[in-house]
Amino acid sequence: MDFTIGCTLPYRVKSPTSFVFNIEAVRHPGQVITAETLTLTPDAAVERWTMPESGNRYLRIDAAPGPFTLDYRAEVTLSPVLEAPEAVTEIPAKALPLSVLPHLWPSRYCQSDKLNRLAQRTFGAETPGYARVNAVCNWIHDNVDYVGGISDEMTSAFDTATQRAGVCRDFAHLAIALCRALGIPTRYVSAYAHRLEPPDFHAVIEAYLDGPSGFGWYLFDPTRKAAPDGLVRIGIGRDAAEVAFSSPFGDIVYDKPVVWIEPKRGTVGAVTTQAVRAEL
């Protein structure tokens, strides 16, 4: 499946500002970037860093006072792997690769340490594996209201567990915290998301499970708003703190960003009953 994706981020810069952006699609075997352009207006030097443990592509750009716009476009081919959910099980602690441990630890917005009993009480009896993570996502979908503007950048899973309202970011944080409390390594994924309405950067999760092709990261969208096989991944992290799409160090005003994704070739969205893995 091929997609064209992109975003336009317009700013009014008030003082000399260093921006760190994380908006480019990540590269991995299941997500191949066939064309890509980054346009800055006015033009500016770009410093790049790809985080080794995640592959996230961070850009730093120094902008002078005045209007500044970043425009990004890419052609991306996705080759997600679809599997039978009932064949995807959990991995006991003794068998987990030690390198996935960081995704078991509590993080800023995913306080799994404080949600341990809630997770055990509510999901302890679920069938381990894909079904249990799915039960977590269903529970969130059924018990948390999707309400724009009700949460903010400091809202965490601990808050949402009780306040029961939020946006995709909050849904993802709560799902991650609950899964980690259940002993399932889980991470945050920011993405361009086909069918998300209104279009925006989206947040979903990946849980580390044992499937027909071996251990790997399985995708879940607790909001159920996007097509699971129509997600172009940008950043992977412990939570939203790691994958902010824009971090300005300076005094700026931002105007509404435009985020888009268009399918170009192939069929999307026929996978609601299958487990999705972004790559082998």
The helix or strand, by DSSP H or E, that contains position 120, with its residue range, turns out to be helix 116-123
Cα–Cα distance measured from residue 262 to residue 230, given in angstroms and rounded to the nearest whole number: 9
Cα–Cα distance measured from residue 57 to residue 251, given in angstroms and rounded to the nearest whole number: 24
Confirm if 242 and 203 have CB atoms less than 8 A apart: no
**Min separation Cβ 131 and its own copies, Å:** 21
Sign of CA dihedral 268, 272, 274, 280: positive
Position 164 contacts its own copies (CB under 8 A): yes
**Binding positions for its own copies, 229-248, rule CB under 8 A:** 241-242
Among 31, 107, 151, 190, the residue binding its own copies under the rule CB under 8 A is 107
**Min separation Cβ 110 and its own copies, Å:** 8
Name 28's Cβ contacts closer than 8 Å, sequence gap at least 6.
55, 233, 278, 279
**Binding positions for its own copies, 73-92, rule CB under 8 A:** 92
Cα–Cα distance measured from residue 119 to residue 100, given in angstroms and rounded to the nearest whole number: 20
Position 252 contacts its own copies (CB under 8 A): no
The distance of Cα 111 from the centroid of its chain, to the nearest Å, equals: 17
Position 98 contacts its own copies (CB under 8 A): yes
**Min separation Cβ 5 and its own copies, Å:** 23
Q: How far, in Å, are 40, 56, 66, 206 from residue 251 at the CA level?
A: 18, 25, 11, 34
Position 14 contacts its own copies (CB under 8 A): no
Position 64 contacts its own copies (CB under 8 A): no
Position 20 contacts its own copies (CB under 8 A): yes
Question: What letter represents residue 175's amino acid?
Answer: A
Position 18 contacts its own copies (CB under 8 A): yes
Position 154 contacts its own copies (CB under 8 A): yes
Residue ranges in 150-277 assigned as alpha helix (H)? 157-163, 168-181
* Closest CB to its own copies among residues 91, 259: 91
DSSP state of 127: P
* Closest CB to its own copies among residues 65, 250: 250
Position 228 contacts its own copies (CB under 8 A): no
**Min separation Cβ 23 and its own copies, Å:** 15
- The size of the interface with its own copies (CB under 8 A), counted in residues, is 47
Sequence length of the chain is 280
- Residue numbers at the binding site for its own copies (CB under 8 A): 18, 20, 47-49, 51-53, 58, 60, 62, 92-94, 97-99, 101-102, 105-108, 110-111, 113-115, 117-118, 121-122, 143, 145, 153-154, 158, 161-165, 183, 241-242, 249-250
